[in-house]
Amino acid sequence: MLYSKLFPKALRQAPKDADSANAKYLIQGGFIHQEMAGVYSWLPLGLQVLRKVENIIREEINALGAQELLMPALQPKDNWLATDRWDGLDILFKLNSKIGGEIALGATAEEIITPLAKAYTGSYQDFPFALYQIQNKYRDELRAKAGVLRGREFGMKDLYSFHLDLGCLEKYYEKIAKTYLNIFKRCGLKAVRTRATGGAFSKFSDEFQVITSAGEDNIYYCSKCKVYYNNELVRAGKCPECKTKLGKPERAIEVGNIFKLKTKFSDAFNFKYIDKNGKEKPVLMGCYGIGTTRLVGTIVEANHDDHGIIWPNEIAPYKMHLIALFGKDKKINQKIKSAALAVVASEAKQSCEVLYDDREDASAGEKFAVADLLGIPERVVISEKTLAKNSIEIKNRKSGKVTMKKL
C-alpha cells in the first residue's frame, strides 16, 4: 500500500477531547472516525486490524466445530416480549416501523438464535451443536466512552451452544474458556479468567479481563483459590469462596464473557428435544461473547507509548512500514525509489504486507512520527545514507532496536 494513496492520512494533532489512549491514537492515526458519541466508522487501516482480530477468532472457533452464520440486527418485538427483555433490558434500542409495529435493534441475539435453532431441530440426534456470528450490536449505553471500549454500536462475536445435558454443556464451556485465552494471546494480550455472577440460572459466569489502568472493572485475585473475582462478587474485601482477605483490586477491561444459560432461553421459547425414549426434554444452552471492536481498543490500551501504537505482530495492519527518504539529487532519488520498490516486491513474494511511505513532499521527521503513531512492527528506511552502505535500516517499533541489512 502506498501511503500517498492511503485514505485518510494521519492527523498532525491528536484529537483534543480524547478521553483514552485508544481514542487518541486510533483517531489520530486514521484508524477510526467518530460519528457521534459511541459510534465510529472503521477506516481502511482500522478495518485491516479489526478483520485480523475477527479472523483469529474465526480460526479458533471454527476449530471447535462451531458454524458461522449471520443474523439480522432488526429483530421482532414478540421475541423480546417472550423473554421479558422488551421492557427488561434498559439499553435496548426500539424502532418504530412505518408499516406499523415496533422492532428491536439487536443488542444481542438469544431472541433470534433460540427460535431459529428450534425451527431446525427436534431429535436428540441433532445435538450438540454450536453457531456463531460476528455482527454489530446496538446498545443505548448511558455512558458511551473511552473510544471503542464502550460504544453504542460495536462489533461482537457471539457464539451459542446447544446441548442435551449439563455435562456436555460444561465440557464445551471449558473448551471455549481455553480457546478464549488462546485468542487473546494471539491478539497480543494477557487475559485472565475472572469469576462473575452468573445471572438467574448459574452461580458463576466467567469474564475474560485484561489488566490495565484504562479498565472500568475492578478485579481481585485470591492467592489461595488462585482465582480472579469481579468486584461485584466480593463482599467486605473477602474471597467469596474461601473468605481469605483480598488485596487491592486491579483495574481491567472485560474483553469476553461466557455464560451457562442452561434452560433460560429454551424455556422462554419452549425449545425441547425428543430423547431416545420419545420423551420431551428442555435443551440446554451456553452463550459466549467477545467484543471485537473493544478488543482492538484494548490492544491499543495495553500496547502503546508516548509516540503512538505498538501493534502486536499478528494483528498489525501491515508488517513493514517502509520509508523512502528523498534528497535534492534527482539521480539518487531515482535510485532510492527503485530500491524501495524492489524491497516491496521481494517482501510481497514472502507475503509480507508493506505500507510504503513514498511521499516526496514530507520530511524525515514527519515520516518517522507517522510510523511511530501507526505502530507497524518493523520500520525500514532507505535513504542516500543507507544506499551508500548498500543497506536498509530496520527499526523494531517495540524494542527500538536498530539493525542494518544488506540490500
Give the interface with ligand ATP as residue ranges (CB under 6 A): 108, 139, 141, 150-151, 154, 156, 254-257, 289, 291, 293-294
256/375 with CB nearer ligand ATP: 256
Residues 6+ apart with CB under 8 A from 159: 61, 66, 130, 131, 132, 176, 287, 288, 289
Q: Which of 119, 155, 149, 163 is nearest to 137 (CA)?
A: 155
DSSP one-letter string for 134-185: EEEEE---TT-BTTTTB-SEEEEEEEEEEESSHHHHHHHHHHHHHHHHHHHH
- Residue (32 or 380) nearer to ligand ATP, CB: 32
* Distance linking the first and last C-alpha atoms of the chain: 21
Closest contact distance (angstroms) between CB of 286 and ligand ATP is 12
Output the smallest distance, CB 356 to ligand ATP, in A: 33
- How near is the Cβ of 311 to ligand ATP at its closest, in Å? 19
Minimum CB separation from ligand ATP for residue 191, in Å? 10
The C-alpha atoms of residue 193 and residue 76 are separated, in whole angstroms, by 34
Asked if 138 and 105 touch (Cβ cutoff 8 Å), the reply is: yes
Give the shortest CB-287-to-ligand ATP separation in angstroms: 8
Percent helix, percent strand, percent coil in the chain, to nearest 5: 30, 30, 35
Closest CB to ligand ATP belongs to which residue? 291
DSSP 3-state of 20:
coil
Nearer to ligand ATP, 234 or 370 (CB): 234
Q: Is 250 helix (H, G, I), strand (E, B) or coil?
A: strand
**What's the min distance (Å) between Cβ of 89 and ligand ATP?**
10
Nearer to ligand ATP, 33 or 398 (CB): 33
Nearer to ligand ATP, 254 or 372 (CB): 254
**Residue nearer to ligand ATP on the CB measure, 10 or 27:** 27
Name the residue nearer to ligand ATP (CB basis): 110 or 357.
110
Q: Are 42 and 317 in contact (CB under 8 A)?
A: no
Measured from the CB atom, is 117 or 295 closer to ligand ATP? 295
Beta-strand runs (E) in 164-249: 191-197, 204-211, 217-222, 227-230
CB of 38 vs ligand ATP, minimal distance in Å: 7
Residue 127 identity (one-letter amino acid): F
**Nearest approach, Cβ of residue 151 and ligand ATP (Å):** 4
Which amino acid type is present at position 329? D
